[in-house]
Structure 1
Amino acid sequence: MIVGASQGIGLEFVRQLLKIEQVERLYTTYRNSGSELLQISDPRLRCLPMEITDESQIAAVVQAIQAETPVLHTVINCVGVLHEGSLQPEKSLRHLKAEQLLRYFQINSIGAVLLAKQVQPLLKHSERAILATISAKIGSIGDNHLGGWYGYRASKAALNMFMRTTAIEYQRLCPRTIVVTLHPGTTDTQLSRPFKRQVKPEQLFSVERTVKQLLEVLDRLQERDSGEFFSWDGNRLPW
Protein backbone atom coordinates (compact mmCIF):
# COMPACT_ATOMS: atom_id res chain seq x y z
CA MET A 1 0.00 0.00 0.00
CA ILE A 2 1.41 3.36 -1.08
CA VAL A 3 -0.24 6.32 0.63
CA GLY A 4 0.12 9.58 -1.28
CA ALA A 5 0.82 8.13 -4.71
CA SER A 6 -0.42 11.05 -6.83
CA GLN A 7 3.03 12.44 -7.60
CA GLY A 8 6.70 12.55 -6.75
CA ILE A 9 8.18 9.81 -4.58
CA GLY A 10 4.85 8.06 -4.04
CA LEU A 11 4.12 7.78 -7.75
CA GLU A 12 7.62 6.48 -8.41
CA PHE A 13 7.18 3.81 -5.71
CA VAL A 14 4.17 2.62 -7.68
CA ARG A 15 6.10 2.47 -10.94
CA GLN A 16 9.02 0.56 -9.44
CA LEU A 17 6.92 -1.85 -7.37
CA LEU A 18 4.84 -2.80 -10.39
CA LYS A 19 8.07 -3.98 -12.04
CA ILE A 20 8.49 -6.58 -9.29
CA GLU A 21 6.78 -9.86 -10.14
CA GLN A 22 6.39 -10.83 -6.48
CA VAL A 23 4.04 -7.88 -5.90
CA GLU A 24 0.66 -9.59 -6.20
CA ARG A 25 -1.49 -6.53 -5.49
CA LEU A 26 -0.78 -2.84 -4.98
CA TYR A 27 -3.17 -0.45 -3.27
CA THR A 28 -2.58 3.27 -3.63
CA THR A 29 -4.23 6.43 -2.33
CA TYR A 30 -4.45 9.76 -4.10
CA ARG A 31 -5.91 13.27 -3.75
CA ASN A 32 -5.38 14.59 -7.27
CA SER A 33 -7.83 13.08 -9.76
CA GLY A 34 -5.66 14.39 -12.60
CA SER A 35 -2.65 12.36 -11.47
CA GLU A 36 -0.63 10.15 -13.82
CA LEU A 37 -1.34 7.41 -11.29
CA LEU A 38 -4.83 6.98 -12.68
CA GLN A 39 -3.41 6.49 -16.17
CA ILE A 40 -1.38 3.43 -15.17
CA SER A 41 -2.93 0.25 -16.48
CA ASP A 42 -2.08 -2.85 -14.44
CA PRO A 43 -4.55 -5.44 -13.11
CA ARG A 44 -2.65 -5.59 -9.80
CA LEU A 45 -3.17 -1.87 -9.13
CA ARG A 46 -6.11 -0.39 -7.25
CA CYS A 47 -6.34 3.37 -6.67
CA LEU A 48 -8.43 4.77 -3.83
CA PRO A 49 -9.17 8.46 -3.11
CA MET A 50 -8.18 9.54 0.40
CA GLU A 51 -7.47 12.67 2.40
CA ILE A 52 -5.01 11.79 5.15
CA THR A 53 -6.30 14.54 7.46
CA ASP A 54 -9.73 12.84 7.58
CA GLU A 55 -9.66 9.68 9.70
CA SER A 56 -13.03 8.53 8.37
CA GLN A 57 -11.53 8.43 4.87
CA ILE A 58 -8.52 6.46 6.11
CA ALA A 59 -10.87 3.97 7.78
CA ALA A 60 -12.96 3.65 4.61
CA VAL A 61 -9.87 2.86 2.53
CA VAL A 62 -8.73 0.24 5.02
CA GLN A 63 -12.20 -1.33 4.99
CA ALA A 64 -12.12 -1.47 1.19
CA ILE A 65 -8.78 -3.26 1.32
CA GLN A 66 -9.98 -5.65 4.04
CA ALA A 67 -12.86 -6.64 1.77
CA GLU A 68 -10.28 -8.01 -0.68
CA THR A 69 -7.40 -9.21 1.50
CA PRO A 70 -6.79 -9.85 5.21
CA VAL A 71 -3.12 -8.82 5.10
CA LEU A 72 -0.67 -6.27 3.79
CA HIS A 73 3.10 -6.79 3.78
CA THR A 74 4.28 -3.27 3.02
CA VAL A 75 2.73 0.11 3.79
CA ILE A 76 4.65 3.24 2.75
CA ASN A 77 3.28 6.66 3.63
CA CYS A 78 4.63 9.32 1.27
CA VAL A 79 2.29 12.16 2.24
CA GLY A 80 3.92 15.41 3.31
CA VAL A 81 3.72 19.16 2.83
CA LEU A 82 6.42 21.83 2.88
CA HIS A 83 4.64 24.57 0.94
CA GLU A 84 1.22 25.13 -0.63
CA GLY A 85 -0.27 28.51 -1.50
CA SER A 86 0.35 30.85 1.41
CA LEU A 87 1.93 28.04 3.44
CA GLN A 88 5.67 28.60 3.19
CA PRO A 89 8.63 27.60 5.41
CA GLU A 90 9.18 30.24 8.09
CA LYS A 91 12.57 31.94 8.19
CA SER A 92 12.10 33.47 11.65
CA LEU A 93 9.72 33.66 14.62
CA ARG A 94 7.99 36.72 13.17
CA HIS A 95 6.67 34.60 10.30
CA LEU A 96 4.87 32.09 12.55
CA LYS A 97 1.09 31.76 12.22
CA ALA A 98 -0.92 29.32 14.32
CA GLU A 99 -3.14 28.13 11.47
CA GLN A 100 -0.12 27.35 9.28
CA LEU A 101 1.60 25.44 12.08
CA LEU A 102 -1.58 23.41 12.54
CA ARG A 103 -1.62 22.61 8.82
CA TYR A 104 1.94 21.25 8.98
CA PHE A 105 1.04 19.02 11.91
CA GLN A 106 -2.25 17.82 10.41
CA ILE A 107 -0.57 16.56 7.25
CA ASN A 108 2.97 15.66 8.29
CA SER A 109 2.33 14.23 11.75
CA ILE A 110 -1.25 13.49 12.77
CA GLY A 111 -2.29 11.89 9.48
CA ALA A 112 0.58 9.41 9.69
CA VAL A 113 -0.27 8.15 13.17
CA LEU A 114 -3.97 7.88 12.32
CA LEU A 115 -2.94 5.76 9.35
CA ALA A 116 -0.85 3.56 11.68
CA LYS A 117 -3.92 3.19 13.91
CA GLN A 118 -6.30 2.22 11.11
CA VAL A 119 -3.99 -0.04 9.10
CA GLN A 120 -2.83 -2.10 12.09
CA PRO A 121 -5.31 -5.01 11.58
CA LEU A 122 -3.85 -5.60 8.10
CA LEU A 123 -0.35 -5.90 9.56
CA LYS A 124 -1.31 -8.26 12.38
CA HIS A 125 -0.07 -11.49 10.85
CA SER A 126 2.84 -13.91 11.12
CA GLU A 127 4.89 -12.79 8.10
CA ARG A 128 7.49 -10.00 7.83
CA ALA A 129 5.88 -6.63 7.20
CA ILE A 130 6.93 -2.99 6.86
CA LEU A 131 5.26 0.25 7.93
CA ALA A 132 7.48 3.03 6.59
CA THR A 133 6.86 6.76 6.60
CA ILE A 134 8.76 9.38 4.64
CA SER A 135 10.20 11.84 7.14
CA ALA A 136 13.12 14.25 6.67
CA LYS A 137 16.54 14.77 8.18
CA ILE A 138 15.45 18.34 8.90
CA GLY A 139 13.14 16.84 11.54
CA SER A 140 16.14 15.62 13.54
CA ILE A 141 16.46 17.76 16.68
CA GLY A 142 20.06 16.63 17.19
CA ASP A 143 20.99 17.62 13.64
CA ASN A 144 19.40 21.09 13.74
CA HIS A 145 22.24 23.59 13.40
CA LEU A 146 20.65 26.13 11.04
CA GLY A 147 17.25 26.92 12.55
CA GLY A 148 14.31 28.25 10.55
CA TRP A 149 11.52 26.24 8.92
CA TYR A 150 9.77 25.95 12.29
CA GLY A 151 6.56 24.21 11.25
CA TYR A 152 8.14 21.70 8.89
CA ARG A 153 10.94 20.82 11.30
CA ALA A 154 8.61 20.45 14.28
CA SER A 155 5.98 18.44 12.39
CA LYS A 156 8.61 16.01 11.13
CA ALA A 157 10.08 15.70 14.64
CA ALA A 158 6.57 14.94 15.90
CA LEU A 159 6.14 12.40 13.10
CA ASN A 160 9.33 10.64 14.22
CA MET A 161 8.05 10.46 17.81
CA PHE A 162 4.66 9.18 16.68
CA MET A 163 6.28 6.40 14.67
CA ARG A 164 8.77 5.52 17.40
CA THR A 165 5.87 5.16 19.83
CA THR A 166 3.87 3.19 17.26
CA ALA A 167 6.79 0.80 16.87
CA ILE A 168 6.74 0.05 20.60
CA GLU A 169 3.03 -0.76 20.55
CA TYR A 170 3.35 -2.76 17.33
CA GLN A 171 6.01 -4.94 19.00
CA ARG A 172 3.21 -6.27 21.19
CA LEU A 173 0.37 -6.32 18.66
CA CYS A 174 2.14 -6.80 15.29
CA PRO A 175 5.55 -8.23 16.28
CA ARG A 176 6.62 -9.06 12.71
CA THR A 177 6.01 -5.49 11.47
CA ILE A 178 9.05 -3.21 11.21
CA VAL A 179 8.08 0.44 11.76
CA VAL A 180 10.56 3.03 10.45
CA THR A 181 10.83 6.62 9.29
CA LEU A 182 12.93 7.42 6.24
CA HIS A 183 14.92 10.43 5.04
CA PRO A 184 14.81 10.24 1.22
CA GLY A 185 17.48 12.86 0.57
CA THR A 186 16.73 16.03 -1.38
CA THR A 187 14.68 14.82 -4.33
CA ASP A 188 13.66 16.71 -7.46
CA THR A 189 9.92 16.89 -6.75
CA GLN A 190 7.31 19.64 -6.42
CA LEU A 191 8.01 19.71 -2.68
CA SER A 192 11.68 20.63 -3.06
CA ARG A 193 11.60 22.41 -6.43
CA PRO A 194 11.41 26.02 -5.09
CA PHE A 195 14.52 25.39 -3.00
CA LYS A 196 16.66 23.22 -5.28
CA ARG A 197 18.82 26.15 -6.43
CA GLN A 198 20.45 25.97 -3.00
CA VAL A 199 21.32 22.28 -3.45
CA LYS A 200 24.50 21.06 -5.12
CA PRO A 201 23.65 19.10 -8.28
CA GLU A 202 25.25 15.91 -6.96
CA GLN A 203 23.08 16.13 -3.83
CA LEU A 204 19.78 16.48 -5.71
CA PHE A 205 18.35 13.05 -6.46
CA SER A 206 15.94 12.07 -9.21
CA VAL A 207 12.78 10.33 -7.97
CA GLU A 208 13.99 7.16 -9.69
CA ARG A 209 17.22 7.17 -7.69
CA THR A 210 15.49 8.07 -4.43
CA VAL A 211 12.95 5.25 -4.63
CA LYS A 212 15.56 2.69 -5.70
CA GLN A 213 17.68 3.65 -2.68
CA LEU A 214 14.75 3.55 -0.26
CA LEU A 215 13.61 0.14 -1.49
CA GLU A 216 17.14 -1.15 -0.90
CA VAL A 217 17.03 0.21 2.67
CA LEU A 218 13.66 -1.44 3.30
CA ASP A 219 14.87 -4.78 1.91
CA ARG A 220 17.76 -4.84 4.40
CA LEU A 221 15.72 -4.05 7.51
CA GLN A 222 15.61 -6.53 10.39
CA GLU A 223 13.00 -6.71 13.14
CA ARG A 224 15.49 -5.16 15.56
CA ASP A 225 15.45 -2.00 13.36
CA SER A 226 11.83 -1.22 14.19
CA GLY A 227 11.37 2.24 15.68
CA GLU A 228 14.48 3.69 14.03
CA PHE A 229 15.07 6.64 11.67
CA PHE A 230 17.06 5.80 8.53
CA SER A 231 18.68 7.88 5.82
CA TRP A 232 18.55 7.00 2.14
CA ASP A 233 21.98 5.34 2.41
CA GLY A 234 20.89 3.04 5.24
CA ASN A 235 22.60 4.97 8.03
CA ARG A 236 20.69 5.69 11.24
CA LEU A 237 19.90 9.34 11.89
CA PRO A 238 19.93 11.06 15.30
CA TRP A 239 16.61 12.05 16.84
Structure 2
Amino acid sequence: MANVLKGNIEMPTIQKGFLCISCLIIPLIFFISCRSNNEKPKNYFIGQIEYSYNYSSDFFNIDSLKLIKPWKSEFRYDLKNYQSKFIGKDTITYYYSGNLNKCLSMANGVLDSLCEDYGIATDSIISFKVYDTNEKILGYECKIIEFQSKLFWNRYYVSKDLILAPATYNRHISYNWSFYGEKTQGGLILKLEHRFKKYTMYGIASGIKPFSHEEGALQINEKLFDDMCFGIRTW
Protein backbone atom coordinates (compact mmCIF):
# COMPACT_ATOMS: atom_id res chain seq x y z
CA MET A 1 0.00 0.00 0.00
CA ALA A 2 1.43 3.38 -1.04
CA ASN A 3 1.98 6.27 1.36
CA VAL A 4 2.62 4.15 4.44
CA LEU A 5 2.92 6.13 7.69
CA LYS A 6 6.60 6.23 8.71
CA GLY A 7 8.04 8.05 11.71
CA ASN A 8 6.39 11.43 12.06
CA ILE A 9 5.36 11.72 8.42
CA GLU A 10 1.73 12.78 8.32
CA MET A 11 -0.69 10.73 6.16
CA PRO A 12 -3.13 12.57 3.90
CA THR A 13 -6.57 13.15 5.47
CA ILE A 14 -8.33 10.92 2.92
CA GLN A 15 -6.00 8.03 3.75
CA LYS A 16 -6.58 8.59 7.45
CA GLY A 17 -10.29 8.22 6.85
CA PHE A 18 -9.75 5.10 4.80
CA LEU A 19 -7.58 3.62 7.54
CA CYS A 20 -10.27 4.32 10.16
CA ILE A 21 -12.96 2.72 8.00
CA SER A 22 -10.68 -0.28 7.45
CA CYS A 23 -10.26 -0.58 11.22
CA LEU A 24 -14.03 -0.94 11.49
CA ILE A 25 -14.59 -3.18 8.47
CA ILE A 26 -11.84 -5.74 9.11
CA PRO A 27 -13.06 -6.75 12.61
CA LEU A 28 -16.62 -6.85 11.25
CA ILE A 29 -15.61 -9.18 8.43
CA PHE A 30 -13.67 -11.31 10.92
CA PHE A 31 -16.73 -11.48 13.19
CA ILE A 32 -19.06 -12.48 10.37
CA SER A 33 -16.55 -15.04 9.11
CA CYS A 34 -16.12 -16.59 12.56
CA ARG A 35 -19.86 -16.65 13.09
CA SER A 36 -20.43 -18.32 9.71
CA ASN A 37 -17.75 -20.91 10.42
CA ASN A 38 -19.25 -21.70 13.82
CA GLU A 39 -22.83 -22.04 12.55
CA LYS A 40 -23.59 -25.56 11.40
CA PRO A 41 -25.50 -25.96 8.11
CA LYS A 42 -29.06 -27.22 8.42
CA ASN A 43 -29.25 -31.00 8.16
CA TYR A 44 -32.11 -31.67 5.77
CA PHE A 45 -33.71 -35.08 5.59
CA ILE A 46 -32.27 -37.37 2.93
CA GLY A 47 -33.87 -40.79 2.87
CA GLN A 48 -36.99 -42.87 2.42
CA ILE A 49 -40.23 -42.86 4.37
CA GLU A 50 -42.96 -45.49 4.05
CA TYR A 51 -46.66 -45.02 4.76
CA SER A 52 -49.56 -47.42 5.22
CA TYR A 53 -53.11 -46.36 4.30
CA ASN A 54 -56.65 -46.99 5.46
CA TYR A 55 -60.00 -45.63 4.27
CA SER A 56 -63.45 -44.72 5.50
CA SER A 57 -66.58 -43.92 3.51
CA ASP A 58 -70.35 -43.56 3.84
CA PHE A 59 -70.74 -44.20 0.11
CA PHE A 60 -68.39 -47.06 -0.76
CA ASN A 61 -67.76 -50.53 0.60
CA ILE A 62 -64.40 -50.28 2.39
CA ASP A 63 -63.10 -53.63 1.15
CA SER A 64 -63.93 -52.64 -2.41
CA LEU A 65 -62.27 -49.26 -1.91
CA LYS A 66 -59.10 -50.90 -0.64
CA LEU A 67 -58.94 -52.98 -3.82
CA ILE A 68 -58.65 -49.93 -6.05
CA LYS A 69 -56.71 -47.53 -3.81
CA PRO A 70 -53.08 -47.68 -2.59
CA TRP A 71 -52.47 -49.56 0.65
CA LYS A 72 -48.90 -48.29 1.04
CA SER A 73 -46.44 -45.82 -0.42
CA GLU A 74 -42.73 -45.02 -0.43
CA PHE A 75 -41.35 -41.48 -0.64
CA ARG A 76 -37.66 -40.80 -1.29
CA TYR A 77 -36.07 -37.36 -0.80
CA ASP A 78 -32.70 -35.80 -1.43
CA LEU A 79 -31.73 -32.11 -1.39
CA LYS A 80 -33.61 -31.20 -4.58
CA ASN A 81 -35.68 -34.15 -5.87
CA TYR A 82 -38.25 -36.61 -4.62
CA GLN A 83 -39.79 -39.86 -5.78
CA SER A 84 -43.18 -41.11 -4.61
CA LYS A 85 -44.43 -44.64 -5.26
CA PHE A 86 -48.04 -45.62 -4.50
CA ILE A 87 -48.57 -49.36 -4.25
CA GLY A 88 -51.93 -51.07 -4.65
CA LYS A 89 -53.71 -52.93 -7.43
CA ASP A 90 -51.67 -50.65 -9.67
CA THR A 91 -48.28 -49.19 -8.81
CA ILE A 92 -47.75 -45.57 -9.81
CA THR A 93 -44.45 -43.75 -9.33
CA TYR A 94 -43.79 -40.02 -9.63
CA TYR A 95 -40.31 -38.57 -10.24
CA TYR A 96 -39.92 -34.90 -9.37
CA SER A 97 -36.92 -32.82 -10.48
CA GLY A 98 -36.40 -29.82 -8.23
CA ASN A 99 -34.07 -28.19 -10.76
CA LEU A 100 -36.66 -28.36 -13.54
CA ASN A 101 -39.79 -28.19 -11.36
CA LYS A 102 -41.21 -30.94 -13.55
CA CYS A 103 -42.46 -34.45 -12.92
CA LEU A 104 -42.46 -37.72 -14.83
CA SER A 105 -44.68 -40.66 -13.90
CA MET A 106 -44.69 -44.41 -14.42
CA ALA A 107 -47.65 -46.77 -14.08
CA ASN A 108 -46.96 -50.48 -13.65
CA GLY A 109 -43.49 -50.10 -15.15
CA VAL A 110 -44.59 -48.07 -18.19
CA LEU A 111 -43.31 -44.49 -18.42
CA ASP A 112 -46.00 -41.92 -19.21
CA SER A 113 -45.23 -39.61 -22.12
CA LEU A 114 -46.54 -36.61 -20.14
CA CYS A 115 -44.03 -34.28 -18.49
CA GLU A 116 -46.02 -32.34 -15.90
CA ASP A 117 -45.12 -28.76 -14.97
CA TYR A 118 -45.44 -28.42 -11.19
CA GLY A 119 -45.23 -24.64 -11.32
CA ILE A 120 -48.92 -24.53 -12.27
CA ALA A 121 -51.60 -24.22 -9.59
CA THR A 122 -54.04 -27.14 -9.50
CA ASP A 123 -55.98 -26.01 -6.42
CA SER A 124 -56.42 -22.98 -4.17
CA ILE A 125 -56.35 -22.54 -0.39
CA ILE A 126 -59.46 -21.26 1.41
CA SER A 127 -58.29 -21.44 5.03
CA PHE A 128 -55.62 -23.06 7.20
CA LYS A 129 -54.25 -23.30 10.73
CA VAL A 130 -51.05 -24.64 12.28
CA TYR A 131 -50.92 -25.82 15.89
CA ASP A 132 -48.97 -28.05 18.27
CA THR A 133 -49.82 -31.55 19.42
CA ASN A 134 -48.46 -33.89 22.09
CA GLU A 135 -48.78 -36.88 19.76
CA LYS A 136 -45.54 -38.45 18.58
CA ILE A 137 -45.16 -40.53 15.42
CA LEU A 138 -42.32 -43.07 15.40
CA GLY A 139 -40.94 -41.17 18.39
CA TYR A 140 -40.85 -37.80 16.60
CA GLU A 141 -42.53 -34.67 17.93
CA CYS A 142 -45.04 -33.13 15.56
CA LYS A 143 -47.08 -30.08 14.78
CA ILE A 144 -50.29 -30.11 12.76
CA ILE A 145 -51.39 -28.17 9.72
CA GLU A 146 -55.04 -28.30 8.68
CA PHE A 147 -56.16 -26.63 5.50
CA GLN A 148 -59.29 -26.41 3.42
CA SER A 149 -58.66 -26.08 -0.28
CA LYS A 150 -61.13 -25.70 -3.10
CA LEU A 151 -61.01 -29.45 -3.75
CA PHE A 152 -60.07 -31.17 -0.46
CA TRP A 153 -59.72 -30.91 3.30
CA ASN A 154 -56.38 -32.07 4.72
CA ARG A 155 -54.70 -32.62 8.07
CA TYR A 156 -50.96 -33.31 8.21
CA TYR A 157 -48.86 -34.19 11.24
CA VAL A 158 -45.40 -32.94 10.33
CA SER A 159 -42.11 -33.59 12.09
CA LYS A 160 -40.39 -30.81 14.00
CA ASP A 161 -37.02 -32.55 13.55
CA LEU A 162 -37.06 -34.13 10.09
CA ILE A 163 -36.96 -31.21 7.67
CA LEU A 164 -37.08 -31.36 3.87
CA ALA A 165 -34.77 -29.25 1.72
CA PRO A 166 -36.61 -26.20 0.31
CA ALA A 167 -35.75 -27.19 -3.28
CA THR A 168 -38.13 -30.15 -2.98
CA TYR A 169 -41.16 -27.91 -2.45
CA ASN A 170 -40.60 -24.15 -2.78
CA ARG A 171 -41.47 -23.97 -6.53
CA HIS A 172 -43.83 -26.96 -6.37
CA ILE A 173 -47.10 -25.02 -6.62
CA SER A 174 -49.16 -27.95 -7.94
CA TYR A 175 -51.10 -29.94 -5.34
CA ASN A 176 -50.37 -27.28 -2.68
CA TRP A 177 -46.86 -28.55 -1.91
CA SER A 178 -45.24 -25.11 -1.78
CA PHE A 179 -48.04 -23.88 0.48
CA TYR A 180 -47.79 -26.44 3.25
CA GLY A 181 -44.03 -26.73 2.84
CA GLU A 182 -43.69 -23.03 3.58
CA LYS A 183 -46.21 -23.02 6.45
CA THR A 184 -44.51 -25.95 8.20
CA GLN A 185 -40.92 -24.94 7.36
CA GLY A 186 -40.49 -28.14 5.37
CA GLY A 187 -41.51 -30.58 8.10
CA LEU A 188 -41.71 -34.18 6.86
CA ILE A 189 -45.28 -35.51 6.91
CA LEU A 190 -45.62 -38.41 9.38
CA LYS A 191 -49.40 -38.78 9.49
CA LEU A 192 -52.15 -37.54 7.20
CA GLU A 193 -55.87 -37.34 6.59
CA HIS A 194 -57.29 -36.48 3.15
CA ARG A 195 -61.03 -35.91 2.97
CA PHE A 196 -62.30 -36.38 -0.55
CA LYS A 197 -65.91 -35.94 -1.60
CA LYS A 198 -67.04 -39.53 -0.94
CA TYR A 199 -64.26 -41.08 1.13
CA THR A 200 -61.41 -40.25 3.50
CA MET A 201 -57.85 -41.52 3.20
CA TYR A 202 -55.71 -42.00 6.33
CA GLY A 203 -51.96 -42.50 6.21
CA ILE A 204 -49.27 -42.98 8.83
CA ALA A 205 -45.51 -43.43 8.60
CA SER A 206 -44.49 -47.04 9.14
CA GLY A 207 -40.74 -46.73 8.62
CA ILE A 208 -37.99 -44.19 7.97
CA LYS A 209 -34.63 -45.04 6.43
CA PRO A 210 -31.98 -42.35 5.80
CA PHE A 211 -29.59 -42.86 2.90
CA SER A 212 -26.54 -41.03 1.54
CA HIS A 213 -26.79 -37.97 -0.67
CA GLU A 214 -24.84 -39.87 -3.33
CA GLU A 215 -27.60 -42.47 -3.57
CA GLY A 216 -30.15 -39.83 -4.56
CA ALA A 217 -33.93 -39.89 -4.49
CA LEU A 218 -34.65 -40.72 -8.11
CA GLN A 219 -34.43 -44.35 -9.19
CA ILE A 220 -34.60 -43.42 -12.85
CA ASN A 221 -32.21 -42.15 -15.50
CA GLU A 222 -32.41 -38.37 -15.00
CA LYS A 223 -31.57 -37.81 -18.67
CA LEU A 224 -35.14 -38.94 -19.37
CA PHE A 225 -36.24 -35.47 -18.26
CA ASP A 226 -34.38 -33.95 -21.23
CA ASP A 227 -36.03 -36.39 -23.59
CA MET A 228 -39.57 -36.36 -22.16
CA CYS A 229 -39.79 -32.67 -21.17
CA PHE A 230 -37.75 -30.96 -23.88
CA GLY A 231 -37.50 -33.52 -26.70
CA ILE A 232 -33.71 -33.62 -26.35
CA ARG A 233 -32.20 -37.10 -26.35
CA THR A 234 -28.87 -37.04 -24.50
CA TRP A 235 -28.40 -40.73 -23.84
User: Shorter-chain-normalised TM-score: which range?
Assistant: under 0.3
TM-score calculated relative to the size of structure 1: 0.24
TM-score calculated relative to the size of structure 2: 0.24
Instruction: Decide which structure has the larger Cα Rg and report it.
Output: 2
Query: Which structure features the higher share of helix residues?
Result: 1
